[in-house]
Each structure stands twice: as structure tokens, then as C-alpha cells.
């Protein structure tokens, strides 16, 4: 065991299942806190905010790319996989971030775009100028732009083809995303080895896991759509094998924006595991749809379509992140309904999705924001929060692309929202100026100062969730209700010999009106008493026939401890 391994396990303790009950928080280094007055956030600024994240109740910090990059795609265009972006700080400062986070019991999940590099990466520069050289075969080159025609274009707002002509090599190169992001050639064993070495590099430094960005797109083949190719799964399993052997306890998270039956393949099997976690993309838009249709059916249906996952794995769930609210995994009818509810202004749209933040999507309705968080925190999976959503930050649709949702974190009502001491004109993006979401109104300092703020509410919810491992580890069973505005489900954790067995009944009213409904629970719950998880208030006892009738206010929810008679 190396010094780094030892330090890692001492700081936060070895727990191979930590991610199954964790709460994750995504913070952009660039957007969180600027310690140097440069106008851009940095590692030292982020370190300075770890106490805040610990207070909030975060278990793991997900940091999107911070590597050397021309920043034409928010850092997902890497020009050196083992260097950090100088404006964010130095490698020792990054190491300090890990140390300081671990000291506070917070793990670090890094982001790892493996499918492609920046066109400024030396591998690509060498590949285009020296086709016969050591990097000549590192990218996907072709004499024409007709191959792999079954692969869809993902960034439809900017790209017209997945091929771009390179005037230096005088060939076309393949790219699933921006034309400045050439895809690596994973058929080349040297590429596969180089990427494994990069994962090793960061895990040696002590990070706790890696989000595998855009993972479905690694391999392409004629006649195949270039998504979820069997060779891609073989390679993910290879990465996992290396991690298990060399860095036990560290995790891999798949960012696979795919249908439920396809995304589960990224968990692999018990015999040949792939990722510990996968984002559940399809459930997210159904939460938003349920709210507007005022019916629980979209959520119930998508979860029914979700196959079981292997033991010891976990879904990653989210409401918002640094990208657009993606609508790739919904039907055309659902997509146009979502646009009509949530993106009436065309500037709110990006590619196949909506570039808005949580609070404005929900018209700043406190009841809707609370209900969506309650669902996120009680449905199966480990939740991922997006920085600023805990205080109800707004977006700026007049900025380009997904920058709309990447503006500086609002800490105080002061200049630059307390994010930076720089001249406001020097900020990497302007702070939000809109009437409702201006930092005069929406900031951490003010919300910390009053106990009924959204911030305090989110914090209280995270702490309740932490006290009840059933939300991370328990089974999930939808219950029959005679009112389709109500979503009722039972989370249940069997006695694992650790005195943690627990049953919780969650009832959610997705309608804008008060609703009553009779929930039909399994007969074994007949006569059970129900007690509110927050205040301990007693609720009606479950009847002898297993049914219980409850009334909920508009967008209300209950988390009820079930004590079997
Ligand atoms: O590196 C390219 C992109 O990779 C991720 O993309 C994902 O987001 C896309 C929407 O913005 C989505 O359509 C795609 O399926 C995903 O792989 C990353 O999160 C993006 O920020 C990045 O541009
Ligand atoms: Ca590829």
C-alpha cells in the first residue's frame, strides 16, 4: 500500500459501500469561490467553502473537469489529462483540496471525459501532423465523411456532422460532440492503456471516484449507432478491474444518457462489474412532467421500466446539473409538452433540452422546490445536488449555451455576490442580475441568517436522510392509491444484523390542490402505526385491511415511519 492509499483510508475511513447512502454536490471550481481576485473560482476558494458544505451535510463533492483546457466546452475539452488549469491553481493546491475535504468527511469525485480530447491536446496535434508517428492512430480518421452514418448528432445546435475535415492531415476526424473535440480511437490498445494510466494518476492522488463522462460513445462501428457498443462495455469492465485491484473503495459513475434498460448495462454484472453508480437520466424529466400533469403516473411508469440493479450498486439521481435539462430520453410528445411547460422562450432551449435552473423552472414556488427535493431524497438512488440550487439561484438565458446555469455562486449581497473581489467586468461570467434572483435577494449569508430559508430546509432534509439509511439501502415498492395525484411508496430495510431495519412510507401530492386518498398497503402492515419522521407526530393507524386514508395539502409530502403492530 502506498503513502497515498494510506492517507486516503485514514482520512475518511475505508467503506466500500459509502456511495450508497451518500449525498453528492456538484460544484464548478470556476463558479464557486475566487480566492485570488482573478474573476475565476479556484481550488483555494473551494477549500475555503468546505466548512459550508460540511455544515450543509454533503458527503461527496463532484468537481467537473479542472484540467488544462482551452475551455471551449466548460473544461470537457481537455488539452492535458494530468495537468490542472493554471487559473484554478496548482496540483499541490488540488491535493490540499482532497486533504481538507477528507478531514471534513467529504469525498471527492472527479469528472473524466474519456471519449474525446480538445483539438489542442498534444496527442491530436501529433496525430494530425504525423500520421505515421506514435499518435497517428490515436484518433478516428477517415478519407471521407460517410462512415458510421447511423450515429446521431448530439450537439444539434452547433454541429451538422460527426466528421470534420482537418486541413493539416487532409483527412476527416470523428467527433460525437463539438468539432473541436476529436474522439479518441479506442480500437488502439495504446489509447486504452493511456486512459487507464490517467485514471491511475488521479486515484494515486487520492480522489475517491470518477464520473465517466459521455461513456456510451467510446467505440464506433459501421452499421451501429455508436452508443453502448459491446466493446465499450468490455473497456469499462477493464477500468473497473484495475480500480478494484489497485484502488479498492474508489468508485466509477457512468454518465450514460440512455434508456433504463440500456443504462443498467453500465453496472455490469456481479461476475463482471462495470460502474458502481449510473446516473438515472430518464427519471429526471418524469419528475418535472408529473408536476405539471399533476399525476404520479409518469414517475411510476419510468420506475417500473427500470430493471433491478446488481447488489452493491446504486443509481445517481438529480434534478439539475451543469448541462441542459436533457430531453433526449423522452418521447417527442413528452418533449414538446416539457418545452411548453418549462421553456416557452426559445432562448431557454439548448440542443435537446432546457438550459434553466431549478428555482426558475418551478417559477420559484417554494412548495414545488420542496416537493421535488423530497422526491429526489426519497426515491431509489443517491442524490446529486447542483451548486446554488440549495438557495434557489436563478439562470441567465442571455448568456450562451449552458453558461446560462453556470454563473457565480451567490454567497452574500455584496459586490460580485461575495464570489470574487475582482472588478465585476473581469468575472468569468456575470453574476445573476434579474429582479427575483439577484444576489441582494438570493444568497447564502441571508439564508443562513433565517431559519425558515430554503437553505435551512434543504440542510434539515439532508440531515434527516442521513439518519435513515433506508433511503439509500432500502427496497422500493410503489403502493396502490385511489387518487392518481398521489405517489405512495414504501422504502424498507431488512435487519442486516446491524439494528438498522426500518420501514418508511412516503406519500407525495404532485397536484397543486389538496388531495385525499386511500393507500392500500401489504397486509403485513395491517394495524401498523405511522409516525412523521420529522416531528414524530402520530398519523392514523393502518386499518385491518391494510389501508390508510391520508389528506395532503398542495404539493405536500409525508415521510412516515411504519411500526408494525
Ligand atoms: O464532453 C461533451 C459533453 O459531455 C457531457 O455531455 C453530456 O451532456 C450532453 C448535454 O449537454 C448530453 O446530451 C450527453 O448525452 C452527455 O454525454 C458533459 O456533461 C457536457 O458538459 C459536455 O459538453
Ligand atoms: Ca467515440
CATH number at residue 213: 3.20.20.80
Q: Tell the residue nearest (CA) to atom 22 of ligand 1.
A: 76
pLDDT on residue 501: 85
| Same-domain check for residues 382 and 255 | yes
Q: Tell the residue nearest (CA) to atom 11 of ligand 1.
A: 323
Task: Compute the half-sphere exposure of residue 342: CA atoms within 13 Å on the CB side of its CA.
Answer: 32
Q: Tell the residue nearest (CA) to atom 7 of ligand 1.
A: 214
Does 9 reside within a domain? Answer: yes
**What average pLDDT does range 14-20 have in this prediction?**
94
**What average pLDDT does range 39-66 have in this prediction?**
98
| Same-domain check for residues 208 and 138 | no
pLDDT on residue 415: 97
Counting beta carbons within 10 angstroms of the beta carbon of residue 13, is it exposed (0 to 12), middle (13 to 18) or buried (19 or more)? exposed
pLDDT on residue 526: 97
Residue 532: pLDDT over 50: yes
Distance of CA 542 from the midpoint of ligand 1 (Å): 46
Does 246 reside within a domain? Answer: no
Residue of 154, 328, 354, 401 with the most ligand 1 atoms within 8 Å of its CB, for mutation: 154
Kindly state the percentage of the chain with pLDDT values over 90.
95
Angle between helices 297-304 and 283-293 (to 10 degrees): 160
Does 240 reside within a domain? Answer: no
499 confidence band (pLDDT: 50, 70, 90): low
Residue of 213, 232, 350 with the most ligand 1 atoms within 8 Å of its CB, for mutation: 213
Counting beta carbons within 10 angstroms of the beta carbon of residue 27, is it exposed (0 to 12), middle (13 to 18) or buried (19 or more)? buried
| Same-domain check for residues 82 and 179 | no
d(CA 392, CA 329): 26
| Same-domain check for residues 426 and 480 | no
Which atom of ligand 1 is least distant from the CA of 255? 17
Instruction: CATH number of the domain at 146, please.
Output: 3.90.400.10
Nearest CA-CA partner of 107 in 50, 192, 35: 50
Q: Give residues (CB < 6 A) around ligand 1.
A: 73-74, 76, 113, 154, 177, 213-214, 255, 257, 322-324, 326, 328, 351
Does 106 reside within a domain? Answer: yes
| Same-domain check for residues 304 and 371 | yes
**332-360: pLDDT as tens digits:** 999 999 999 999 999 999 999 999 999 99
**54-73: pLDDT as tens digits:** 999 999 999 999 999 999 99
| Same-domain check for residues 135 and 211 | no
How high is the ipTM of this complex? 0.94
Q: Tell the residue nearest (CA) to atom 16 of ligand 1.
A: 214
**428-471: pLDDT as tens digits:** 999 999 999 999 999 999 999 999 999 999 999 999 999 999 99
Which of 494 and 406 is assigned the larger pLDDT? Answer: 406
Domain count, the chain: 3
d(CA 466, CA 458): 12
pTM of the model: 0.96
Distance of CA 224 from the midpoint of ligand 2 (Å): 12
Distance of CA 158 from the midpoint of ligand 2 (Å): 18
Question: Could you tell me the residue range of the domain that residue 355 belongs to?
Answer: 3-68+78-115+200-220+251-465
Does 15 reside within a domain? Answer: yes
For cell 475565476, name the residue.
40
**112-152: pLDDT as tens digits:** 999 999 999 999 999 999 999 999 999 999 999 999 999 99
Q: How many helices (H) and strands (E) does the chain have?
A: 17, 23
Distance of CA 281 from the midpoint of ligand 1 (Å): 12
Amino acid at each position: 500500500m502506498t503513502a497515498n492509499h494510506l492517507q486516503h483510508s485514514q482520512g475518511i475511513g475505508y467503506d466500500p459501500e459509502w456511495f450508497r447512502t451518500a449525498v453528492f454536490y456538484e460544484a464548478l471550481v470556476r463558479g464557486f469561490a475566487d480566492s485570488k481576485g482573478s474573476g475565476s473560482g479556484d481550488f483555494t476558494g473551494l477549500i475555503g467553502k468546505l466548512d459550508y458544505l460540511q455544515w450543509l451535510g454533503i458527503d461527496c463533492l463532484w468537481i467537473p473537469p479542472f484540467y488544462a483546457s482551452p475551455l471551449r466546452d466548460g473544461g470537457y475539452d481537455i488539452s492535458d489529462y494530468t495537468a490542472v488549469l493554471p487559473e484554478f491553481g496548482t496540483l499541490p493546491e488540488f491535493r490540499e483540496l482532497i486533504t481538507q475535504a477528507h478531514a471534513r468527511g467529504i469525498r471527492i469525485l472527479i469528472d473524466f471525459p474519456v471519449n474525446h480530447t480538445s483539438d489542442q491536446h498534444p496527442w491530436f496535434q501529433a496525430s494530425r501532423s504525423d500520421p505515421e508517428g506514435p499518435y497517428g492512430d490515436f484518433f478516428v480518421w477517415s478519407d471521407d465523411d460517410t462512415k458510421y452514418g447511423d450515429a446521431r448528432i448530439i450537439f444539434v445546435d452547433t454541429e451538422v456532422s460527426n466528421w470534420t475535415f482537418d486541413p493539416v492531415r487532409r483527412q476527416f476526424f470523428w467527433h460525437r460532440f463539438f468539432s473541436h473535440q476529436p474522439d479518441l480511437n479506442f480500437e488502439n490498445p495504446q489509447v486504452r492503456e493511456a486512459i487507464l494510466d490517467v485514471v491511475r494518476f488521479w486515484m494515486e492522488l487520492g480522489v475517491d471516484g470518477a464520473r465517466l463522462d459521455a461513456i456510451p460513445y467510446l467505440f464506433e462501428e459501421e452499421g451501429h449507432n455508436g452508443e453502448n457498443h459491446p466493446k465499450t462495455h468490455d473497456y469499462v469492465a477493464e477500468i473497473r478491474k484495475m480500480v478494484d485491484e489497485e484502488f479498492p473503495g474508489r468508485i466509477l459513475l457512468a454518465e450514460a444518457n440512455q434508456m433504463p434498460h440500456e443504462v443498467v448495462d453500465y453496472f455490469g454484472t456481479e461476475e463482471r462489474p462495470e460502474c458502481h453508480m449510473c446516473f438515472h437520466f430518464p427519471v429526471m424529466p418524469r419528475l418535472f412532467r408529473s408536476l405539471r400533469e399533476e399525476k404520479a403516473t409518469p414517475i411510476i411508469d419510468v420506475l417500473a421500466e427500470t430493471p433491478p440493479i446488481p447488489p452493491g450498486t446504486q443509481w445517481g439521481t438529480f434534478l439539475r446539473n451543469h448541462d441542459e435539462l436533457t430531453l433526449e430520453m423522452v418521447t417527442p410528445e413528452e418533449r414538446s409538452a416539457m418545452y411548453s411547460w418549462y421553456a416557452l422562450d426559445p432562448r431557454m432551449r439548448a440542443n435537446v433540452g432546457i438550459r434553466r435552473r431549478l428555482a426558475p423552472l418551478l417559477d420559484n414556488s417554494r412548495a414545488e422546490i420542496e416537493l421535488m427535493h423530497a422526491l429526489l431524497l426519497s426515491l431509489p438512488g443517491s442524490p446529486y445536488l447542483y451548486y446554488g440550487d440549495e438557495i434557489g439561484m436563478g439562470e441567465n438565458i442571455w448568456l450562451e449555451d449552458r453558461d446560462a446555469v453556470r454563473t457565480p455562486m451567490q454567497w452574500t449581497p455584496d459586490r460580485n455576490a461575495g464570489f470574487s473581489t475582482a472588478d465585476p467586468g473581469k468575472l468569468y461570467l456575470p453574476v445573476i442580475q434579474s429582479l427575483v434572483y439577484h444576489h441582494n435577494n438570493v444568497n447564502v449569508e441571508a439564508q443562513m441568517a433565517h431559519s425558515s430559508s430554503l437553505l435551512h430546509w434543504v440542510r434539515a432534509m439532508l440531515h434527516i436522510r442521513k439518519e435513515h439509511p433506508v433511503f439509500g439501502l432500502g427496497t422500493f415498492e410503489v403502493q396502490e392509491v385511489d387518487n392518481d395525484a398521489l405517489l405512495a411508496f414504501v422504502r424498507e430495510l431488512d435487519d442486516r444484523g446491524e439494528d438498522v431495519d426500518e420501514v418508511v412510507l412516503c406519500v407525495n401530492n404532485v397536484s397543486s390542490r389538496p388531495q385525499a386518498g386511500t393507500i392500500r398497503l401489504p397486509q403485513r402492515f395491517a394495524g401498523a402505526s405511522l409516525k412523521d419522521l420529522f416531528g414524530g407526530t402520530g398519523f392514523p393507524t393502518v386499518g385491518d385491511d391494510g389501508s390508510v386514508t391520508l389528506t395532503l395539502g398542495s404539493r405536500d409530502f409525508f415521510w412516515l415511519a411504519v411500526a408494525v403492530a
